Amino acid sequence: MPDAAFDYDYLIAGGGAAGLSLAYYLVQEPRLRDKRILLLEPEAKDQNDRTWSFWTEKPTPFDGIAVREWRQLAFRSPGFEQIFPLSRYRYQTIRGIDFYRFVHAVLAAAPQVTVVRASVESLENTSGGVTARTGAGSFAARYAFDSRPPKLTQRPDKYRYLLQHFIGWEVETEQDAFDPATVEFMDFRGAQHHEARFIYVLPFAPRRALVEYTLFSGRLLPDEAYEAALRDYLTNTLGLTSYRIVEREQGAIPMTDHPLPLRDGAHIINLGTRAGRAKPSTGYAFQRIQQHSEHLVNALASTGKPPRRLTTDQPQFRLFDTLLLDIMQRRGETTRDIFTELFQRNPLERMLDFLDEKTSWRENFLILNSVTSAPFLRSIRHVLRGRPGVR
């Protein structure tokens, strides 16, 4: 039954990946059909502001809007190059604009959902619920789900702060240049400049691909530096003499072990990047956001409350993330060697399971045992001392 004491049962602050995913799963759940949902988002969400890619082994609600999916990934570094079949996984890409339109169409057909174009200025726990103050007035709800970007006061003496940052060009070429069957997952053959730097390619067709120059590091580069690396790859690695840039993507995703709270008081649950759903050691977030949404909605449907454990995260994987971040921050160029060993010495599926945090202790041991131990041992020392390593 809806709660008569409040205007809404569930209020969602922010309608990006996490807010819209939660709204989608809420309206799909028959046991929550009578719950009144309010979505507050200041933007029209009518731009293709990002592209999400991820691997998955089961069908997703968004299979129908995927622009493409692949069954092979390539890994390249000096001295080791291999194309890996994905076996039980698929690698899929969804354009932001398709996702926003798809979910908004589902929400528009759901009478229990109200969407208001407004920016949330504050969210406060009240007795038994929550109040949101916005440019469009105040709203009261039983629970709020907050996906506004987090505001972090950095503690570099305690935690590690890196970014996965990139510029990508979607290019069209006059001759065949890309293998549309294979995602270039990480191409580390370029100069590393004491950081982790690689090229990532999503080939949509033999003459069309998204090519990104990506770094895991602490500081952004001037745009020209990413663009010079993209030009170098297209000209010198692919041998192209002419190409047309049809779209451009730029991003910086936080990679940090700074704890991000999963809730702010009794009735405010955090979502998305705000709730640490971007995996600290890779920046991948889309699938983790889907899992989080499903986990929350299952509990709301079966108990009427958010789950006691708000995520299914396990501490051993947080430790692995911290160790990798420590190595990347301390000796970024080592990242290439670690990834090379990981890809050379493990089945790809084990690696993807590990990054999905689904591996057993035995598999975790096999993975850790497959890489040179010295950088990890040094970082374990830093973790035990409670201080990040420095270069």
- The residue ranges that bind ligand FAD (CB under 6 A) are 13-19, 40-43, 50, 52-54, 119-120, 147-149, 249, 251, 253, 272-273, 278, 284-286, 289
Order of strands across the sheet with 51-56? 51-56, 90-95, 68-70
Q: How far apart are CA 143 and CA 120, in angstroms?
A: 15
Nearer to ligand FAD, 168 or 389 (CB): 168
Nearer to ligand FAD, 293 or 379 (CB): 293
- Please say which residue, 32 or 132, places its beta carbon nearer to ligand FAD: 132
- What is the nearest approach in angstroms of ligand FAD to the Cβ of residue 176? 25
- Are the C-beta atoms of 121 and 89 separated by less than 8 Å? no
Structure tokens at 391: 């270069």
Q: Is 87 left (phi over 0), alpha (psi -120 to 50) or beta?
A: left
Provide the residue type at 263 as one letter.
Answer: R
217 by DSSP, 3-state: which? strand
Shortest distance, position 252 Cβ to ligand FAD, whole Å: 7
H helical segments located in the chain? 17-28, 96-108, 223-232, 286-303, 315-330, 334-345, 348-355, 361-369, 374-385
Which CB sits closer to ligand FAD, 112 or 147? 147
Query: Judged by CB, which is closer to ligand FAD: 186, or 278?
Result: 278
- Closest distance of CB 112 from ligand FAD, Å: 20
From the CB of 286, what's the least distance to ligand FAD, in Å? 4
| Shortest CB 294 distance to ligand FAD, Å | 15
Structure tokens at 382: 């830093």
Least distance (Å) between residue 105 CB and ligand FAD: 17
Helical pair 348-355 and 361-369, crossing angle rounded to 10 deg: 120
Cβ distance to ligand FAD smaller for residue 50 or 331 = 50
Residue among 14 and 375 whose Cβ is closer to ligand FAD = 14
**Nearer CB in complex with ligand FAD: 62/376:** 62
Looking up tokens 């979910």 gives 103
Provide, rounded to whole angstroms, the least separation between the CB of residue 118 and ligand FAD.
7
Secondary structure E strands in the chain: 8-13, 37-40, 51-56, 68-70, 72-77, 80-85, 90-95, 113-116, 120-126, 129-134, 137-146, 161-173, 182-187, 196-205, 208-217, 243-256, 268-270
**Shortest separation between residue 241's beta carbon and ligand FAD, angstroms:** 29
Smallest CA-to-CA distance from 368 within 382, 386, 383, 380 is with 380
Asked whether 197 and 312 are in contact (CB, 8 A), the reply is: no
d(CA 355, CA 47): 30
Pick the closest to residue 183 from 59, 43, 50, 76 (CA basis).
76
- Measured from the Cβ of residue 365, the count of other Cβ atoms closer than 10 Å reads 11
For residue 78, the minimal CB distance to ligand FAD (Å) is: 26
Is the CB of 42 or the CB of 304 nearer to ligand FAD?
A: 42
Q: How far is the CB of 41 from ligand FAD (least distance, A)?
A: 5
Residue of minimal CB distance from ligand FAD?
16
Task: Specify the residue, 147 or 329, whose C-beta has the smaller distance to ligand FAD.
Answer: 147
